[in-house]
Amino acid sequence: MPALLRALAQDWDEETASSLFWDCLCHQDTCYGATYASVPHLLQLAKRPPAPEAVASIADFLGHVSIVAFQAAGHGRSDAPDVLQGLPSDLEAWDRKLDPYRHLLEHAKKDLADPEFPENALKSVGNVLFELSSGPLQEGLDVVEPETDQSATTTSELTLLRENRQAELDRYTEILSRSPVNEADLKTIARIGDAFFEAQVEIADLCEKAYANAESPAERRYFLAGTVAAFGDRELAQLLESGDEGCFACGNCRWQYEYLIFGQRMAYYASPVGPGESDTITASEDLVLRDYQGGAPDRADGLVLRCEDLGTDTPAGRALQLVKAQKDQENEHRLRQFKGTFLCQKCGIQVPVTKVVKQKRS
């Protein structure tokens, strides 16, 4: 990671940056220790960018990290909003991070202890494919018998597969042989986490500037979401990032809803099933899709009552000032809808779409 950051500082490459950001540092909304450790370096890079597009890319990435960093494992809402995912504060949790490698190590050992690996593994895959292709759902299709010899795979290819498996075993062994995280490391880790919290002010400023300079409506929405997240309202930021269709939950009973925005109106649709229940919706029952196709909320459970007064001491109020300054009516409508209220179909009370969050100032 340090080598990649240094290389980007000298010669910015958008493809390399995108791979670093979205494959390595924040893959599928999962953050790691390296994610937070990279933040101060990226902020410094944005102050003296090696290319004009670097600022927008860094702002987009850091804004998104500010949204997802506080999500619990499995990307659900966290009950501990000041705990960063992927950055444990105790030794036991850091040790548990190695469990996947221990599991992979045992599987690799088992494979390499089999003198007929990978031939047996390839045959097993062939048998599974054969069973799937000859099942009741595949009637009328041509069935191909699984290979029982090595005609489809040469000896050199089998040797290469075994060598690759050995290389994986060596890698897992090396990782598990490293010195474990200790008490001194935890102090460093704590400083990395503290630095990320302190960086929220700079991230907000960076996203604000990127928002003001953005040309397309989609870009403005993403930068605005990052700004709001850095302000401290991550629920609102998530909805802004989702755009005109997405999901939210009742703050009182946690019943799930889908929403669609039609112009200046936001329609909501209650989930027909509760958490943990089997979803039996068929395509013909998908009310959200049918309303989207029809262009009107005819099948909605109701419309959100938009918020007319967004206090200036809230992240939403500060964001409202920003969008008004840019004459960004599209995002102003979104802000007022996402900070509005709706009648929950489950608990029967009028509740906010997102909770009220006071502005955090440095």
The predicted pLDDT at position 135 comes to 53
> In terms of domains, do 243 and 362 share one?
yes
The predicted pLDDT at position 278 comes to 53
The predicted pLDDT at position 359 comes to 62
R_g of the chain, CA atoms, integer Å: 25
> In terms of domains, do 241 and 360 share one?
yes
Residue 27 included in any domain: no
Of 162, 177, 192, the residue at which a domain comes to its end is 177
The predicted pLDDT at position 277 comes to 60
> In terms of domains, do 240 and 331 share one?
yes
The predicted pLDDT at position 139 comes to 47
At position 342, the amino acid (one-letter code) is F
Residues 6+ apart with CB under 8 A from 344: 250, 252, 253, 255, 270, 350, 351
Of 134, 156, 177, the residue at which a domain comes to its end is 177
Residue 42 included in any domain: no
> In terms of domains, do 241 and 172 share one?
no
pTM of the prediction? 0.84
Residue 50 included in any domain: no
The total domain count for the chain is: 2
Residue 163 included in any domain: yes
- Domain residues for the domain of 159 are 99-177
What single string gives the DSSP state of each residue in 308-346? S---TTSHHHHHHHHHHHTT-HHHHHHHHHHTSEEE-TT
Residue 124 included in any domain: yes
Residue 20 included in any domain: no
What does the alpha-carbon distance between residue 84 and residue 66 come to, in Å, rounded to a whole number?
10
Residue 299 included in any domain: yes
Of 161, 177, 193, the residue at which a domain comes to its end is 177
Residue 185 included in any domain: no
65-118 pLDDT per residue, tens: 999 998 865 444 444 567 899 999 999 999 999 999 999 999 999 999 999 999
pLDDT tens string, the chain, 362 residues long: the values are 999 999 999 999 999 999 999 999 999 999 999 999 999 999 999 999 999 899 999 999 999 999 999 886 544 444 456 789 999 999 999 999 999 999 999 999 999 999 999 988 888 766 655 555 555 444 444 444 544 444 557 889 999 999 999 999 999 999 999 999 999 999 999 999 999 999 999 999 999 999 999 988 889 999 999 999 999 999 999 999 999 999 999 999 999 999 999 999 999 999 987 665 655 544 446 899 999 999 999 999 999 999 999 988 899 999 999 999 999 999 999 999 999 999 999 999 999 999 877 665 44
The predicted pLDDT at position 78 comes to 44
CA distances from 96 to 103, 186, 187, 217 (A): 11, 15, 19, 43
At position 212, the amino acid (one-letter code) is A
Nearest CA to 288 out of 264, 334, 263, 257 is that of 257
Nearest CA to 55 out of 199, 198, 174, 211 is that of 211
The predicted pLDDT at position 154 comes to 85
